[in-house]
Structure 1
Amino acid sequence: MMRQSPLAAGIFYNILGGFFVFLAVQDVNVNGFRFFNYVLILLATFDIGTGLRLMLIHFKVKNSQN
């Protein structure tokens, strides 16, 4: 099984988080705040946080190897 680098996974999580933010903003503009919007915001928060953490891990490992 091939392992994915933390940088690639971090970028993927950040894109996914951005997509959830986009969906939440669009739904708020159409329907106002509902429970579903809070779920989207929560998912976006977790994804962006995980993405940033993975990208930081990548750069820390890269710096420690040099």
Structure 2
Amino acid sequence: MTQSPIFSGVVYILLGSLFTYFAIQNVNETGWGFFSYLLVSLATFDFGSGIRMVLFHFKLKNNQNKK
């Protein structure tokens, strides 16, 4: 059984939100350090992948409806 792109997209967006939360907490406690930048970059990649997966789902659904 394969996962739908919408499910993967939502998981990526949730992970991006979680990494953003941890980055905010880390910056408030210790300031901008290597770990803060790492968390922000992980959140950025996750949000980008999540949005791409959600858009891909709607593109697939639109192509299936045209056939």
- State percent identity of aligned pairs: 52
TM-score (norm. length: structure 2): 0.94
CA distance in 2, matches of 1:43, 1:30: 19
CA distance in 1, matches of 2:64, 2:4: 15
TM-score (norm. length: structure 1): 0.96
Q: What RMSD over aligned residues (CA atoms) do the two structures have, in Å?
A: 0.5
CA distance in 2, matches of 1:63, 1:51: 18
Is 1:36 the equivalent of 2:40? no
Shift of 1:64: 1.1
For 1:4, the equivalent position in structure 2 comes to 3
Gaps of 5+ in 2: none
